[in-house]
Amino acid sequence: MSRSAFLAAGLLLALTACRKPAPPAPASPHAIGAELATFKQVLMPLTDETLENLRRAILLHGPESVTLTSFRQTYSHGTTTVNGAKASVLIAYSDPWRAPKGIFLQPMSVLQYLRAFANDAGTDLTMLSTPKGEIFFTREQLSEVSTAASEAGAGGEDLPFVLIRGSGH
């Protein structure tokens, strides 16, 4: 092999080694649904409006008479950047240690969480923070994600309404 061919091959090998690997392909809705089905529950941060509605319902009906239908639940939104633009995102957590310290959270089954996202007119994107990282999906993917989660055995019964406080940072 001539010296110039050897240098060219070495240069090509060096350039190939320096290239950044392509980012992984986004997970399919089916894979997202299957992953969601591995969680027994998710925790949704409640808005101050929900907490005030709950207080009002307790005053009117007494604590033992308050059910999920006694007051309106709304959930906190965050923001993220998608394709260079800010987007509103419905946030959920897999455990209280991922949620900011002191915020009030409502435990939900996976399918209950998916229904909450379906009924949340303020967002087209949701994120579940988990120990493995964040799971994002869009309203467009919701039907496929829900079907896949159901098929993978996700819990669908509404969990009783309780409040949990975030224990994280």
DSSP secondary structure string for all residues of 27-55? PPHHHHHHHHTT-S-EEEEBPHHHHHHHH
How far apart (Å, rounded) are the C-alpha atoms in residues 27 and 6? 41
With b meaning 16 or more CB within 10 Å and e meaning fewer, what string describes 49-68?
ebeebbeebeeeeeeeebee
Using a pLDDT cut of 70, give the percent of the chain over it: 86
Using a pLDDT cut of 90, give the percent of the chain over it: 56
The pLDDT value recorded for residue 81 is: 86
Query: Does residue 10 form part of some domain?
Result: no
The pLDDT value recorded for residue 61 is: 85
- Which residues make Cβ contacts (< 8 Å) with residue 135, sequence separation at least 6? 27, 32, 35, 36, 127, 128
Higher pLDDT, 62 or 139: 139
- Which residues make Cβ contacts (< 8 Å) with residue 66, sequence separation at least 6? 54, 57, 58, 161
Mean pLDDT (whole number) for 48-71: 86
Query: Does residue 93 form part of some domain?
Result: yes
Highest mean pLDDT of the ranges 9-13, 65-69, 112-116? 112-116
Query: Does residue 22 form part of some domain?
Result: no
Lowest-pLDDT choice from 20-29, 40-49, 77-86, 110-119: 20-29
Q: Which helix (H) or strand (E) covers residue 128, if one does?
A: strand 125-130
Query: Does residue 59 form part of some domain?
Result: no
Higher pLDDT, 31 or 24: 31
Query: Does residue 13 form part of some domain?
Result: no
Query: Does residue 54 form part of some domain?
Result: no
pLDDT confidence bin for 11, thresholds 50/70/90: very low
With b meaning 16 or more CB within 10 Å and e meaning fewer, what string describes 95-126?
bbebbbeebbbbbbbbbbbbbbbeebeebbbb
Pair type for strands 85-93 and 125-130: parallel
**Total structural domains within the chain:** 1
How far apart (Å, rounded) are the C-alpha atoms in residues 139 and 19? 34
What does pTM read for this prediction? 0.80
pLDDT confidence bin for 2, thresholds 50/70/90: low
Domain span including residue 31: 27-47+73-165
Mean pLDDT (whole number) for 48-72: 86
Query: Does residue 112 form part of some domain?
Result: yes
The pLDDT value recorded for residue 52 is: 92
Query: Does residue 3 form part of some domain?
Result: no
> Can you read off the two tokens belonging to residue 107?
């435990």
